[in-house]
Structure 1
Amino acid sequence: MIYLSQEVLSQPDAIAMSSTPQNLGNSPITVADNQVVSDATLHILLAAMRVMSRSVGILHIETAYHRWQVLLKGGGLVLIEEEGQIISTLVRKYAGKGLQFSRIPDWEKKQANRPFCFPFVTQVYRRYPDHTKQVLREIILESLLALHLEDKFSFVWQPINDLAIDLPSLQLALLEGNASGEAKQWQQFQCVKHPYQQVQLLDAANLLARVGNDNFPLFAKVTTGQHRISEIADSFKQPLFRTALLLDKLAQKKIVSILPLADRQSAEKLGESGGINLPSAPNAGSLEPKIFVVDDSPVLLRQFRQLLSGWGYQVSLTDNSEQATDLIVAYEPNVVFIDINMPGLSGFELIKQIRRQPQLASLPLVLVTAENSMTNSFRARWASCRFIAKPRTSDETEKFRDELRAMLREVAPLSTDSLV
């Protein structure tokens, strides 16, 4: 049980809403362990975090765009991990300190009510304490900045009584002050609104004139719509604010576009309707290649959308193979990815239907399946299609991304592909 007094809240109209909505007005706020608090302001969240940090536990935080797990202990903050990003963020931050890892632990075997990066970070900390302190501090400050730049939060507190924590704890008050000060600076930007936004290059010639030949290849590589502003800062080994300031100026001059944050809840519902779905794009008249994906798996559709739109492609999706041909004709894509095993029309049946359309006769088609067999590969070639195998393990994911990117550079190159 946590108890938020008026002294802690220092806000007369503070309101928190649990699963049973209740306007608490000027009353103190009591939140039970594992109770969901929704529609909370940043002020309420930070006040709750200060009280919770007196114990040991995990604070699960959600916004419309992101999820975090925060490990609190002894009045301080030990870890923040963002869902779906902590692996790449840790590896990137450690690489910036000169530490490379030949293998990454099996992140899928996580324990309930634990930060799943905790065992790995603890192990590295014992060997490289100074590097780990720097890495964790950078991640924590970037995460707190991101929180300060969003407005509505839901959170759940889960205490932990059996976790031995050797990692350092950073004082929450100092972290809050740093994040609050930087957030005020970010709020002055015209185009950049959040460190997790991605950047799409629009005017390569103008960019080349501004950044020079030495920096242009790297800058072009990290402005393809798949890298966050925080990642770009790490790539250039410069402060996050300085990078954001530069990108804001470039965006004002229409040299780059700062892409809006993807709505997390909308992404989770992707594929439920079985209809066409267009991603957020820098502008409605984008000239980048169009990709169409047909698969009955909402998870795969969501992953394809995030990956391909992140690279800069326009993407349309459907989980209804029987409607796919009509949607493809209407969308006029540059390439189509088709799952083999689907209800209704199978992948091979859909290919036959597509090839009967005169305007689609020469359209590049790619069969996608988890069954990486010689038979499927041969059948794909026989149908004048390309073939790519879905990754079945986490170790195969990077290989799949590389193969997919190489294939797309050949059949549907982006405008920036010739620059990187």
Structure 2
Amino acid sequence: MIAMTGSLPNSDFVSTNVPNTLADGQVVRNATLHILLAAMRVMSRFTGVIQVETKHHRWKLLLRGGGLVLAEEEGQVIPTLVRKYNNKGINFSRIPAWEQRQSNRPYCYPFVSNVYKKYPDITKEVLKEVILENLLALHLEDKFSFVWYPASDLQTNLPVLPLSMLENAIANEVKQWQKFECVKHPYQVVQLVDAANLLARVGNDNFPLFAKVTTGQDRISAIADTFKQPIYRTALLLDKLAQKDIVSIVELPDRRADNALADRYLLTTPTVNKNEPKVFIVDDSPVLLQQMQRLLTNWGYQVSSTDDAEAATERILEYKPSIVFIDINMPSLNGFDLIKQIRRQRELASLALVLVTAENSMTNNFRARWANCRFLAKPRSSSDTPKFRDELRNLLRETAPLSTDTLV
């Protein structure tokens, strides 16, 4: 048990609701940002992980020595790190996967530690960018639940960024973000609405790239990395474009915690019928994830998902679904490689897998059958949607029927 005693730095931000003690695994619910930050200041005297959840996202923050060592958002950490390293001139041909199931260890810890040994200066810059980006996102959220896991046995030589320095660095930027009219969060995705006006605004040279990252799949934070510019500058431009109805800033989807994680951390409990089959979806597009998850939930299924293919196998093992839908083209790990990873797990050897892609080719159909998977073509236009839903519903009736389904 960790006692929270003595005076706290910046005590004017501390609420009387801050707990006096935090034991390993103790949960604090519905906290304000001020309470979370106050708890982080106290817990940073020790070494451990604070896991934070909001309505929209989940993070792991590694604290020690009065500061932050790592900050990772679930489902996004490896793609984010790879983008940041690429912008510094370091490219990875392959990102290995790690068995990282301990609640008091960040998923990316082995990866970052190995890269730090070879590129210490660049890694310091990358980690600072990632930490500040995650803190910005946290500061723009509302209510928080968090749980503390000590990790006194963790020996790390990664740099520690003092919390006081980080809070000062992020405070002014948060005030600027709060002035935006349309943009509210760095994790929102952007959808192009008026291509002609966008072309006139950004010019011929920048239009192809700008159009590519405004398809409803790229976050504002990722768009900033693509153009190698500060995230605030990108958000400012997108906010102006959104005010002119040239782009649309998509609202953040609610995060639906899967039952295994909800039971473990006691932070969120999805309102689903626990007797119905579980479905898991792996896709790098948050918009498509949201749409498919909403559709399946409305039908009556329990649904969980991830846009991080590297972490998918671990999540599937925890969630224990009846069927998994997998996108083929994902940046960190393609669908066929993920299938190999899944099939190596003994308990997943016979799990129903479905490859889902917009590329409805004979090659993909053949490879899916060869991998002992089903194949489902994504709709290319709105006119294809009814057919897609019918095929999806029939496939689910066959492989994971609901209690209300009548099997013939």
Distance change >3 Å, CA 308–CA 129, structure 1 → 2: closer
2:195 corresponding residue in structure 1: 204
Matches within 5 A, 1:7-406: 7-8=8-9, 10-11=11-12, 14-16=15-17, 29-265=20-256, 272=272, 297-300=278-281, 303=282, 307=285, 309-310=287-288, 317-318=295-296, 391-393=338-340, 404-406=357-359
Normalization by structure 2: what TM-score? 0.69
**In structure 1, what residue type is equivalent to 2:235?**
A
State the SS of the aligned residue for 1:392. helix
Equivalenced residue count is 319
Equivalent-residue separation in structure 2 for 1:113 and 1:17 (angstroms): 22
Equivalent-residue separation in structure 1 for 2:13 and 2:128 (angstroms): 33
Q: Is the 8 A contact 2:180 2:236 kept in 1?
A: yes
Equivalent-residue separation in structure 1 for 2:296 and 2:213 (angstroms): 29
Deviation at 1:17, TM superposition (A): 7.3
Equivalent-residue separation in structure 1 for 2:297 and 2:222 (angstroms): 32
**In structure 2, what residue type is equivalent to 1:245?**
L
Deviation at 1:318, TM superposition (A): 3.4
Distance change >3 Å, CA 179–CA 2, structure 1 → 2: farther
Equivalent-residue separation in structure 2 for 1:99 and 1:389 (angstroms): 26
Deviation at 1:177, TM superposition (A): 0.8
State the SS of the aligned residue for 2:52. strand
State the SS of the aligned residue for 1:175. helix
Residue identity (%): 55
| Larger radius of gyration between Structure 1 and Structure 2 | 1
Q: Is the 8 A contact 2:14 2:38 kept in 1?
A: no
**In structure 2, what residue type is equivalent to 1:3?**
M
**In structure 1, what residue type is equivalent to 2:233?**
R
Q: Is the 8 A contact 1:146 1:196 kept in 2?
A: yes
Structure 2: runs of 5 or more not aligned: 260-268, 302-323, 327-334, 344-352, 361-375, 383-408
Deviation at 1:86, TM superposition (A): 0.5
Deviation at 1:235, TM superposition (A): 0.4
Deviation at 1:33, TM superposition (A): 3.0
1:3 corresponding residue in structure 2: 4
Distance change >3 Å, CA 97–CA 401, structure 1 → 2: farther
Q: Is the 8 A contact 1:2 1:52 kept in 2?
A: no
Equivalent-residue separation in structure 1 for 2:88 and 2:118 (angstroms): 14
Q: Is the 8 A contact 1:225 1:311 kept in 2?
A: no
Equivalent-residue separation in structure 1 for 2:16 and 2:216 (angstroms): 38
Deviation at 1:31, TM superposition (A): 2.6
Give a deviation string over 1:303-352, Cα, whole Å, max 9, x none.
Answer: 46x7373499788623799x99xxxxxxxxxxxxxxxxxxxxxxxxxxxx
Equivalent-residue separation in structure 2 for 1:2 and 1:261 (angstroms): 36
Q: Is the 8 A contact 1:298 1:319 kept in 2?
A: no
Give a deviation string over 1:207-228, Cα, whole Å, max 9, x none.
Answer: 0110111111111110111110
**In structure 1, what residue type is equivalent to 2:285?**
L
Distance change >3 Å, CA 316–CA 140, structure 1 → 2: closer
Give a deviation string over 1:87-146, Cα, whole Å, max 9, x none.
Answer: 111111111111111221213444452112111101100101111111100000000011
CA-atom RMSD in angstroms: 3.6
Equivalent-residue separation in structure 2 for 1:71 and 1:135 (angstroms): 16
Give a deviation string over 1:67-95, Cα, whole Å, max 9, x none.
Answer: 11111111111000111110111111111
Equivalent-residue separation in structure 1 for 2:342 and 2:24 (angstroms): 37
Deviation at 1:259, TM superposition (A): 0.6
Distance change >3 Å, CA 182–CA 393, structure 1 → 2: farther
Bigger relative CO (Cα 8 Å, ≥ 6 apart):
2
State the SS of the aligned residue for 2:30. strand
